[in-house]
Structure 1
Amino acid sequence: MPLDTQAPARPMLRRPVLRTLRLGFVPLTDAAPLLIAQELGLFDAVGLRVTLSAEASWAAVRDKLAFGALDAAHLLGPMPIALAAGLTGVKAQVAVAAGLGANGNTITLSNALAQELGRCKPPLAAAAFAALVRRRAQQGRRPLTLAVVFPFSSHNYLLRHWLAMGGLDPDCDLRLTVVPPPMVAQRLLDGAIDGFCAGEPWGSHAAALGAGRIALSSGDIWPNHPEKVLCFSTEQVRQDPESAIACTAAVIGAARWLDEPANQAEAVNILRRRAFPRLDRAEIASAFAGMAEGLPLAAPLRFRNATLPRRDQAAWWLGQMRRWGHLPAEVSDSTALAPWRQDLWRAAATRLRETEPPAPSPPPPSPDLPETTR
């Protein structure tokens, strides 16, 4: 079936000789700009052959990018900082050329926890959740276990921020663990975890399985926060800057297409075919419709305005990594934020006549933890 790509969505560039890029991603709704760019022929239009490689975990994507098995990747926002600092023994110089989405994660809690919380309409207040955690502690019950998808992830830092808003210390009052995105719903169903923060469609999938309820979205914590990024190895950019710029242009074009309401149904069809063949269509569609369990989200998943990679937004991730002791003090801000390269985005945007997106919502201030938990 022919797709209505619309003239503004297709990068109108002089077609050079086709080159090949190996690009990794984790199957999530915010990988859509990559899948759509390939499906609509936008990579071909800018002279690229792109091989998309679906990976089961963020660690796999990181390692393949760091060690040269991939030229570019769909990465979590804080991951370039972790790579620049060599955290967990993996160090690499990368270049963030574009954002791949804003918002798009949900915090999902088990049915048992939802029942204990009572009639709490989403978004769940941090204070209400903290009261439950303290009540359980007073009763001598085990600490709750919440999962995030990677230690250096927006999910981890936004969840920690939300918990701290309720006066909880995430490292003392609960247990945080890491579970790859495709596994979180089943772990919740099995009772191995009490909740998780993960990108869609996994919160909607957990709800559809009857494993839990969506308590709030990450956009309720920081409206229109940056989420994933398009990241190149700096060696790839050094050797072939044209491919990096052309790829970025194709992704911006796909982001334009994705934010057109008329294209959402086709986007869902493409993602179901390319990334989530075992999921019900309605589970995938929720994020694109800006819904969670039938309720509208205040800050839904969006693409076009998130494409400009902003160092000031990345600085919030950096601040959280320092706050929670995840980054050595000797790593300078300039080193940690060096990966953010607006020059690549601007070169691509110029070819598309893409204007700079409006400034997003500022990040939330970090609450102090109670003295007793420090």
Structure 2
Amino acid sequence: MPPRPIAGERPYRIGFVPLTDAAPLVVADALGLFARHGVPTVLSAEAGWAALRDKLAFGALDAAQFLGPLAIALATGAGGLRRRVTVTAGLARNGNTFVISPALAAAVGPFDRPLDPLRFAEALHARAEEGMPPPTIAVVFPFSSHNYLLRHWLAAGGLDPDHDVRLVVVPPPRMARALAEGAIEGFCVGEPWGSHTAACGTGQIVLASGDIWRDHPEKVLAFGEGVAERDEAAAVALTAAVIEASQWLEDPANRPAAARILQDRAFPELPLSTIAAVLDGRVAAPAGQAALPLATPIRFLAASRPQRDEAAAWLAAMRRWGHATGTEAEALAPWRADLWDRAAATVSPPPVRGAAAPSPLLSTTPEPDA
């Protein structure tokens, strides 16, 4: 008997932010995989992470694409809101880019990608000596991989992320415009928004997040507090559909169709070529230039099984910067690999369990002086 929705015949409401790493959810819906597993669903595109967090926390959504560090923050009450979400799958590895304005790139001078953090620090120190204020750099949310990977990279160059730059939050779809209008001088965001900015010529990609932590975990599939516990069968079925979508996305023959699905359902304003390049492991370039290959392309199936060891790396980063409260047991409780294992057992062919990616965030890199 197929699993039943949590509220009679009401479909599961699943939220996502328009990003390439939402592909397993968008594709699962487009290909009818959720329905095939017996759980009716409705996908809801959200403008940014604050709105999505609140909707998941207060029951307007049943499940969502979610930031891994945000699941930790909710579980421990960091940020003033405490909720216990349930993470049943990873959605992607890698997939973010760090983009700076042409003026900031000119201050750095010629460089090879990935940009060395020491070189970036030299440019910021030179600006400061000229009396210029710290550059304003945007991340997508305080409790995000983007924030903690960027902080780690800045600190590796001897910069203090809380003093030598001004970190602000901008929703992913608004990053390109904010940079073009001069409201910010750089940003770290999930693709395809970095590629879109580069293709428009209003910013330059200087490194990918995978250059900082190779094959780092990105977004996860999270269920709202108590949702998976009330109906584990439905949660397992939804997770199985996401696993199947990840398998489908890994086949290069499916990438053109995947790009069309994402354009239709997530990025109608973007050129198909920009979306396709990201799925092929490249980042778009200005008109007349070829897309550039990434050493650490976005990956879907390799991220599928949620890894507590990788979540522990986010926790370590949050503690380093004074953003985490609570115990490790509380912080990592949302990660339920056992539910993924149950879901994977229903999928044919069975997915291979991915290994955790060793994280530099667990190193003892000295923190910069205040």
Q: Which residue of 1 aligns with 2:315?
A: 318
1:302 corresponds, among 289, 299, 303, to 299
In the aligned structure 2, how far is the partner of 1:273 from the partner of 1:95? 29
Q: Secondary structure at the match of 1:81?
A: helix
1:361 is matched with 357
**How many residues in Structure 1 have an aligned counterpart in Structure 2?**
357
1:68-107 pair list within 5 angstroms:
68-107=59-98
Superposition deviation, residue 128 in structure 1: 0.8
SS in 2 for 1:215: strand
Question: 1:15 & 1:317 partners in 2: Cα distance?
Answer: 36
| CA positional deviation for 1:134 | 1.0
Tell me how far apart the structure 2 counterparts of residues 318 and 16 of structure 1 sit (CA, whole Å): 34
Counterpart pick for 1:179 among 167, 170, 178: 170
Alignment match, 1:40: 31
Select the residue among 168, 190, 193 that pairs with 1:202: 193
Q: 1:336 aligns with which of 316, 328, 331?
A: 331
Please, which of 349, 355, 365 is the counterpart of residue 344 of structure 2? 349
Distance 1:366 1:295, change over 3 A: farther
Contact 2:217 2:303 in 1 (8 A): yes
Q: Which consecutive unaligned segments of at least 5 residues does structure 2 have?
A: 286-290
What secondary structure, in the 3-state scheme, does the structure 2 residue paired with 1:258 have? helix
**Aligned amino acid, residue 339 of structure 1:** P
Per-residue deviation, 1:141: 1.1
Partner in structure 1 of residue 160 of structure 2: 169
CA distance in 1, matches of 2:357, 2:88: 21
CA contact (8 A) 2:311 2:332 kept: yes
The one-letter amino acid paired with 1:368 is P
Name 1:121's counterpart in structure 2. 112
Structure 1 counterpart of 2:327, which letter? Answer: S
SS at match of 2:40: strand
Structure-2 change in CA distance of 1:17 and 1:77 (3 Å): closer
Of residues 284-293 and 216-225 in structure 1, the stretch that sits farther from structure 2 once superposed is: 284-293
Say which SS state the counterpart of residue 196 (structure 1) adopts. strand
Shift of residue 209, structure 1, vs aligned partner: 2.0
The CA deviation string for residues 329-357 of structure 1, in whole angstroms up to 9 with x for no partner, is xx101001100001110000111152442
Q: Distance in 1 between matches of 2:107 and 2:41?
A: 48
* Aligned-residue RMSD, C-alpha: 1.3
SS in 1 for 2:346: helix
**Contact 2:95-2:210 at 8 Å conserved across structures:** yes
TM-score normalised to structure 1 length: 0.93
Encode CA deviations 1:192-239: one digit per residue, 9 max, x unaligned.
101000000110111122211100000000010000000012411121
- In 1, the alpha carbon distance for the partners of 2:184 and 2:47 equals 19
Aligned partner of 1:335: which letter? E
Following superposition, the deviation at residue 88 of structure 1 comes to 2.4
Which amino acid is 1:233 matched to?
G
Q: 1:7: which partner in 2?
A: none
Please state how far the C-alpha of 1:68 moved relative to its aligned partner. 0.7
Q: 1:43·1:247 contact (CA, 8 Å) conserved in 2?
A: yes
* Counterparts in 2 of 1:167 and 1:95: CA distance versus 1, 3 Å: same
Identity, % of aligned pairs?
Answer: 55
Counterpart in the other structure of 1:288: 279
Alpha-carbon distance in structure 2 between the residues aligned to 1:355 and 1:179: 36
> Structure 1 residues 42-51 or 86-95, which shifts more?
86-95
Q: Do the aligned residues in 1 keep the contact of 2:76 with 2:327 (CA within 8 Å)?
A: no
